[in-house]
Amino acid sequence: MAENMNGSKRFKLDKSDRTAVAWRSTFIQGSWNYERMQNGGWCYAMIPAIKKLYPDKRDRIQALKRHLEFFNTHPYVASPILGVTLALEEERANGAAVDDVAIQGVKIGMMGPLAGIGDPVFWFTVRPILGALGASLAMSGNILGPIIFFVAWNLIRWGFMVWTQEFGYSAGSRITDDLSGGILKDITEGASILGMFVIAALVQRWVSINFRPRVAEIQLSEGAYIDWANLPEGAAGIRQAIEQSASGMAMDPTRITTLQDNLDQLIPGLAALLLTLFCMWLLKRKVSPIVIILGLFVFGILGYVIGLF
């Protein structure tokens, strides 16, 4: 490219740099915090690459700040995202027009869907299987139980992390090869669209607020609820209750509507959305995230005591 300032010298991350990043990404959750989550660990992992790519101090400062932005995903699937980011940073160091928004967009856009792969695969499939295998051996006092669990898990984990980071790196290099077609601009824009979409889904799924106050108690008419006292004995009764429940009959003679039910009828997750918008508003007014976090804990305790939650 014309802007390549160093002309002949091209910055290149070799295998040992990439291995250093992969090893450091083992500690990506170390400074996990409620403000920007894995940002410290992400930056820690990127440091070997940043040192190599940006000898100029101003560039280095920019790079460090860029990689202290919000990040959170399953710790192992951070590896392919690191791979792509390494490729993007390499291009940037060589003069390509990869801006901060593009890099942050790629990170945010990939982290949600990949966490959606990592959580079910590692936490809910591989670990329960290996854990149950090890535990069944261990419960009879067999030392092989813990050893098999520990060794197998770490082989799978490290193999996955190294392989997917390399995969992300080569895929990322290919993306940046064709800069004339405006592919990067598309990626930036596409990534921020994907990012907004995914963050919205995360707000809906992961921010949890549950209002307890009851707004109405309605006495249901006979036949609209399961009459537990007059069910047949034993299995026949259970069968009848399940059938009645499946046909839409209520469990109790009174229907209790809480404030939460009413809000969810408007749109599920409304309270979570309002809370998120309120936090955005506070942050824009320079309220410290720490103050908001502590405030929410106090609010949670007070809300529980007065019966709001």
Partner 1 sequence: MSLNFIQIILIVLVAFLAGMDGILDEFQFHQPLVSCTLIGLVTGNLTAGIILGGSLQMIALGWANIGAAVAPDAALAAVASTIILVLGGQGASTESIGAAIAAAIPLAVAGLFLTMIVRTLAVPIVHMMDAAAEEGNYRKIEALHIGAILLQGLRIAIPAAILCFVPAHTVQSVLESMPAWLSNGMAIGGGMVVAVGYALVLNMMASREVWPFFIIGFVVAAISQLTLIALGGLGIALALIYLKLEKTGGSRGGGNYGDPLDDILNDY
Residues 121 to 160: which contact partner 1 by CB under 8 A?
123-124, 127-128, 131-132, 134-143, 145-146, 149-150, 153-154, 157
SS3 content of the chain, % helix, strand, coil (to 5): 65, 5, 30
Distance CA 218, CA 87 (A): 61
Give Cα separations from 110 to 71, 159, 176, 292 (angstroms).
10, 20, 17, 27
Would you say 173 or 204 has its CB closer to partner 1? 204
Distance CA 78, CA 110 (A): 9
Would you say 215 or 302 has its CB closer to partner 1? 302
One symbol per residue from 66 to 95: x for binding partner 1 (CB under 8 A), - otherwise; what is it?
Answer: --xxx-x--x--------------------
146 in Cβ contact with 57 (< 8 Å): no
DSSP bridge partners of 226: none
**Least distance in angstroms from the C-beta of 230 to partner 1:** 34
Q: Which of 2, 3, 15, 57 binds partner 1 (CB under 8 A)?
A: 57
Q: Which of 17, 20, 64, 259 binds partner 1 (CB under 8 A)?
A: 64
Write down the number of H helices and E strands in the chain. Answer: 12, 2
- Site for partner 1 (CB under 8 A): how many residues? 117
Would you say 193 or 250 has its CB closer to partner 1? 193
Q: Considering the rule CB under 8 A, would residue 201 count as an interface residue with partner 1? A: yes
**Least distance in angstroms from the C-beta of 215 to partner 1:** 20
Q: Considering the rule CB under 8 A, would residue 179 count as an interface residue with partner 1? A: no
Would you say 64 or 231 has its CB closer to partner 1? 64
DSSP calls for 232-276:
PSHHHHHHHHHHHHHTT-BSSSEEEEEHHHHHHHH-TTHHHHHHH
Q: Considering the rule CB under 8 A, would residue 171 count as an interface residue with partner 1? A: no
Site for partner 1 in 29-48 (CB under 8 A): 29-37, 39-41, 43-44, 47
Distance CA 36, CA 32 (A): 8
**Least distance in angstroms from the C-beta of 271 to partner 1:** 9
Q: Considering the rule CB under 8 A, would residue 205 count as an interface residue with partner 1? A: yes
40 in Cβ contact with 68 (< 8 Å): yes
Q: Considering the rule CB under 8 A, would residue 19 count as an interface residue with partner 1? A: no
Would you say 179 or 199 has its CB closer to partner 1? 199
Distance CA 102, CA 116 (A): 22
**Least distance in angstroms from the C-beta of 203 to partner 1:** 5
Q: Residue with structure tokens 């229907």?
A: 255
Distance CA 288, CA 250 (A): 47
Rg of the chain, C-alpha, whole Å? 26
Site for partner 1 in 253-282 (CB under 8 A): 267-269, 272-273, 275-277, 279-280, 282
Q: Considering the rule CB under 8 A, would residue 180 count as an interface residue with partner 1? A: no
Would you say 49 or 87 has its CB closer to partner 1? 49
110 in Cβ contact with 190 (< 8 Å): no
